[in-house]
């Protein structure tokens, strides 16, 4: 899994004081979104990530597999 760094910043802001905690609670339970342009981007349609590179299922014979312990 790849993280962008925003998660850590959000956690830091939330738990750095009462102001951050209160802002997070308000944002969680409020239907309002402070940035209308960002909200419009969230509502834009997106295409699937694997539209052109479908995942392939590889089958293996269990008798050919070797268990390893690292």
Q: What is the pLDDT of residue 39?
A: 81
Written as tens digits, the pLDDT of the chain (70 aa) is 556 667 888 889 899 999 999 988 888 888 776 778 888 888 888 877 666 666 777 777 777 777 788 6
Ordered alpha helix ranges (H), 1-70? 6-14, 18-29, 36-42
* Residue whose structure tokens are 């802002």: 23
Q: What is the pLDDT of residue 15?
A: 93
Q: What is the pLDDT of residue 67?
A: 79
Provide the Cα torsion 43, 41, 9, 16; round to 10°.
-70
């Amino acid at each position: 899994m790849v993280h962008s760094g925003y998660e850590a910043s959000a956690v830091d802001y939330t738990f750095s004081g009462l102001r951050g905690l209160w802002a997070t609670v308000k944002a969680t339970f409020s239907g309002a979104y402070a940035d209308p342009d960002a909200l419009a981007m969230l509502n834009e349609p997106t295409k699937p990530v694997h539209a052109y590179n479908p995942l392939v299922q590889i089958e293996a014979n269990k008798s050919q597999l070797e268990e390893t312990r690292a």
